[in-house]
Structure 1
Amino acid sequence: MTFGPGGGGGIRLRIMRLLVAHPSPDVYGSDLQLVETVRGMRQAGQLVTVVVPARGPLIPLLEAAGASVEVVPFPVLRKAYLSPTGLLRLVAALAVFWVRAARLWRRVRPSRLLVNTVTIPWWVVVARAARVPVVCHVHEAEDDQPKPVRLALTAPLLLATRVVANSRASRDVLVRTLARLARRTSVVYNGVPGPESIVPARTRAPHDPLRLVLVGRLSPRKGTDVALEALAEVRRQGIDARLTLCGSVFVGYEWFEEELRARAAEADLEGSVDFRGYVAEPARELEQADVVLVPSRVEPFGNVAVEALLAERPLVASRVQGLAEIVTDGETGLLVTPADRAELAAAILRLAADPALATEIASTGRKSAGERFGAERYRDQIAAEVLG
């Protein structure tokens, strides 16, 4: 495509068609990050097509950001495949996948592929078979998995042209698993859009319930069960605290939600836990919080933590992986040991007893998050990595 006077040697701008493979049509952290990735690519003048395995609320957000969307069913690595029967199902699904992928490839004719997770490695193989550059954006840090599992997830990245990790923690897990990935892997911190305006935190009266909010999948990895036990401890200390849970479960984890609901129905927690399910606009829930909790056992980055900081709400998060890179303990939030219900409860009680501290760390946190995790910075960096 040429710009400039007719017949002259104008500036030549190469516009590529980028295909992005993404494992979910939901709207959680890595899904919303993909929207920012699309915005970055469109700002760089690129044509973007995103392929997802099913219909869901992410699709209109991607289209609004400037992408076209293809819905093509394909398998995504889940624990359900880690059994003899599961492996047979995976093999059958992949047999169909190759045909569908070939049809999509002929229709879109991409000049570059971005694979937005390690859980769909077959897309990396498709790109290499077509001799097209492929970038893998890693949002996972599976440090708690056995090494054979980590190797299985990580080895396909050796076929990628370039790897982008969303935190140093994610990159470190990759390199510890396969040292050869060090040279081709860079870190680009997520970029999270802040609210248009800050809703001032309320001044809690002595007898007002303490509002705790946790946004994220109902999952052992997110520490939802730890939050419930910490809530019980806070209430035992005489604080009328209430916990709002915003999130749903992955298919196959319904048992975990059942356990959470059973625990919430016990006498010490009865009536104090609100299960909201999936929430389309979690920013409104964060605005209602006196304290935001991110008690994850595993967290490669932690968009919700950044959202809480940008909303200027005091944050208590686990001292783990990407969260420890986002939060400076005692300055922009409080960090606690993962899965330690007593330490989580103590941090909540500390903020409840010291409103001045809560206000100070919330204010400092907002300034830090705006400087380090801005959306415009992310869009420029991710475009440079993918297109470079």
Structure 2
Amino acid sequence: MAERSETPARETYLLVHPGAELFGSDRMLLESARGIVDSGARAVVALPEHGPLVDHLRGAGAEVVILPMLVLRKSLLRPRGWPTLIRNTLRGAGAAWRLIGRVRPAAVYVSTITIPQWPLLARVRRVPVVSHVHEAEASGSRLINAALYAPHLAATTVLVNSEFSRTTIAAALPRAARHADLVFNGVAGPSEAALPREEIDELRVLYMGRLSPRKGVDDVISAVALLAERGRPATVSLLGSVFTGYEWYEQELRERAAELGGDTVRFLGFRPDVWSVLAEHDVLVVPSRIDEPFGNTAVEGILALRPVVASDTSGLREAAGGYPTTALVAPHAPTAIADALEDIVRTWTDLRGRLEASRAQAEARHAPKLYRRAVSDAVRSAGSVR
């Protein structure tokens, strides 16, 4: 009787992420899952909620599990949020413990520092952990930063998305940064990108991302208002939505837009396909006022063959600096944004001729296949030493 040949079981890796939208860190989680699947392994992704990310993950070949999870939000750290914090801590710990036992992963990949229970629980269960740090705020409290990074001391491997992130971790918790590996974000561009129009009449400015005071969205509106005062007509489109609890900020933006009148400011809401929107605009502005660990949005603008104006700060400097078609300006400075936009219009013909070179540079630096391979190698290497 011939022996039956059996196909060896694929290694299973558990990936954990705090949301299910399609903003920067969500897209990086998707690329990480693709890297695991491309390596031939099984990827199980745990999320705290349903959202547009779920279908993309399943389309990439990953399995998705929705379960209770402690996700650190500022609202939970206030006294009125403590009951929810305690409830989510207990429910999240139980759900995580059971899932790890059921899936039996070779390693756990923890995306962001806002889900602190996972590195600790995984190590208690003797499962190697890869923590991927996407957050860094050097201007924040060193004590708070240390508390946020501390659970990730349990990680077998720590990945960071910029030198700025590594430096920020080192300032708060040197031990956590000592063996951190740098993996630049993999940013996919459009399948086809067209150069912007040859001549500018009314400048079309675009902002993409969360509508948040930290992101400086009102600074873009103020910059466009300044251009109008200088006799330079311009409009601005806001592509994005607010976090729950920040509806007041969107209302302030709408009131400011009403003061300017007409179609000077357009609110586009959230759209998963950013490329068609970028194609309709002349320039992208990334005006963050606070530290950013990186700047996926800036890279997306470069890949879409658009000039970019970005704040000269933190990880944005690494994302947008060094390209012939980007301008770095002081944060929280509408006048500096307006000046940069005027320079873009004044040098438009020359700038337009350099956009393809910038795109090629960004593709070489942030190719998704390089990111996927680096993350997959880190996760599989951690799992191999179990």
TM-score of the two chains, using structure 1 as the length reference: 0.93
The answer on whether the counterparts of 1:265 and 1:271 sit within 8 Å (CA) in structure 2 is no
Aligned-pair distance for 1:14?
A: 8.2
1:339 corresponding residue in structure 2 = 332
- Following the alignment from structure 2 to structure 1, what is the Cα–Cα distance between the partners of residues 77 and 178? 31
Q: Which amino acid aligns with 1:346?
A: D
Deviations 1:213-269 (A, max 9, x none): 111011122211211111111111112111010100111111211111111111x35
Aligned mate of 2:219, from 214, 226, 239: 226
**CA distance change for structure 1 residues 330 and 139 in 2, over 3 Å: closer, same or farther?**
closer
1:317 corresponding residue in structure 2? 310
Q: Number of residues paired by the alignment?
A: 378
From 269, 284, 298, the counterpart of 2:276: 284
Query: Quick one: distance in 2 between partners of 1:157 and 1:102?
Result: 17
Q: 2:373 aligns with which of 380, 384, 387?
A: 380
Match of 1:32 in 2: 27
User: Within the alignment, does 1:186 sit opposite 2:178 as a pair?
Assistant: no
Residue 157 in 1 paired to residue 149 in 2? Answer: no
**1:44-83 residue CA offsets vs partner (Å, 9 max, x unmatched):** 1111010111110000001111100001121211110121
Structure 1 residues 209 and 332: alpha-carbon distance in aligned structure 2, compared to 1, 3 A threshold: closer
Pairwise CA distance, 1:363:
2.6
Aligned to 1:275: 267
Out of 82, 85, 88, the residue aligned to residue 83 of structure 2 is 88
C-alpha distance 322-357 of structure 1, shift in aligned 2 (>3 A):
farther
More relative contact order, 1 or 2 (CA 8 Å, 6+ apart)? 2
Alignment of 1:358 with 2:351, yes or no, is: yes
Distance 1:353 1:135, change over 3 A: same
Please say if 1:44 is aligned against 2:44.
Answer: no
Matching of residues 106-121 of structure 1 within 5 Å: 106-121=101-116
Q: Which whole-Å CA distance do the structure 1 matches of 2:143 and 2:176 have between them?
A: 17
Paired position in structure 1 for 2:294: 301
Query: SS of 2:241's equivalent?
Result: coil
* 354-363 vs 93-102, greater mean Cα deviation: 354-363
Map 1:119-138 onto structure 2 (within 5 A): 119-138=114-133
**Which runs of at least 4 in structure 1 moved beyond 3 Å after TM superposition?**
12-15
Measure the CA separation in 2 of the matches of 1:258 and 1:35.
Answer: 32
Contact 2:164 2:293 in 1 (8 A): yes
Distance in 2 (CA, whole Å) between partners of 1:333 and 1:84 is 43
Letter in 2 for 1:217: R
Aligned to 2:384: none
Would you say the 8 A contact 2:68–2:88 is kept in 1? Answer: no
1:212/1:290 contact within 8 Å kept: yes
Pick from 264, 277, 282 the counterpart of residue 257 of structure 2.
264
In 2, the alpha carbon distance for the partners of 1:13 and 1:212 equals 54
Q: Distance in 2 between matches of 1:385 and 1:128?
A: 17
Secondary structure, aligned partner of 1:289? coil
Could you tell me which residue of structure 2 aligns to residue 369 of structure 1?
362
| Cα distance in structure 2, aligned partners of 1:343 and 1:364 | 25
Q: CA deviation at 1:13?
A: 8.1
Q: 1:104 offset after TM fit, Å?
A: 1.9
Deviations along 1:335-383, whole A, 9 cap, x unmatched? Answer: 1111111111100111012212431442332121011111111111111
In the alignment, the residues of structure 2 paired with residue 124 and residue 269 of structure 1 have an alpha-carbon distance, to the nearest angstrom, of 51
| Selected match of 2:228 from 208, 212, 235 | 235
Q: How far apart are the structure 2 equivalents of 1:313 and 1:202? A: 10
Q: 2: CA distance between counterparts of 1:197 and 1:330? A: 20
Mapped to 2, the partners of 1:313 and 1:336 lie a distance apart of: 17
Which blocks of at least 5 consecutive residues in structure 1 are unaligned? 1-5
Are 2:159 and 1:167 equivalent residues in the alignment? no
Paired with 1:31 and 1:242, the residues of 2 have a C-alpha distance of 29
Distance (Å, rounded) in 2 between the aligned partners of 1:285 and 1:214: 10
Structure 1 pair 7/214, CA: closer, same or farther in 2 (3 Å)?
same
Q: Name structure 2 gaps, 5 residues minimum.
A: 382-386
Q: 3-state SS of the aligned residue for 2:197?
A: coil
Letter in 1 for 2:80: T
Distance (Å, rounded) in 2 between the aligned partners of 1:357 and 1:220:
34
